[in-house]
């Protein structure tokens, strides 16, 4: 693969990507990388306090980002977040679900398997509750779930 091909593959200019848990450690790094690749990014998180530091690291590209206080387990919160994202960017091309990464109850163990967690998370996710129901995802959009 040539560098030009790789660069083209990761050029997200004009694309809008929602990152739930985007003010967290993993979500924040993902948001920064996406902005660096040209994407418009919506950072959704229950606690946006760390978002200022993330935006500072983005420099001038922080203008491509909005932050929205969102509880991914509350359908009304998700609907309001979807409306905010759509008003700002007009569409959603991709969702990265990084919410819940530092919560012990969001991990698996010998007695808690990933299936109930995945079903619960996907059922209440931003995309399934807010975006798909409103038919607002581009037809070639992608969904990346990371059940942390």
CATH code of 139's domain: 3.40.50.720
Task: State the pTM of this model.
Answer: 0.74
Count: domains in the chain: 1
3-state SS, residue 49: coil
What range defines the domain where residue 35 resides? Answer: 3-145
User: DSSP letter at 86?
Assistant: H
pLDDT in tens, 128-147: 445 444 434 444 544 444 33
pLDDT of 61 reads 96
Distance CA 76, CA 11 (A): 33
**Pairing state of beta strands 65-69 and 40-45?**
parallel
Residue 147 burial (CB count, 10 A): 19
């Amino acid at each position: 693969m040539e560098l030009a091909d790789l660069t083209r593959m990761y050029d997200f200019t004009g694309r809008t990507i929602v990152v739930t848990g985007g003010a967290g450690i993993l979500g924040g790094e993902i948001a920064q990388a996406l902005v660096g690749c040209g994407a418009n990014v919506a950072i959704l998180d229950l606690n946006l306090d760390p978002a200022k530091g993330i935006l500072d690291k983005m420099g001038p590209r922080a203008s491509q980002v909005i932050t929205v206080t969102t509880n991914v387990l509350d359908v009304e919160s998700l609907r309001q977040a979807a409306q905010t994202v759509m008003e700002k960017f007009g569409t959603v091309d991709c969702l990265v679900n990084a919410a819940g990464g530092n919560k012990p109850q969001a991990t698996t163990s010998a007695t808690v398997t990933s299936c109930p967690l995945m079903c619960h998370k996907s059922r209440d996710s931003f995309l399934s509750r807010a975006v798909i129901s409103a038919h607002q995802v581009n037809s070639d959009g992608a969904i990346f779930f990371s059940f942390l």
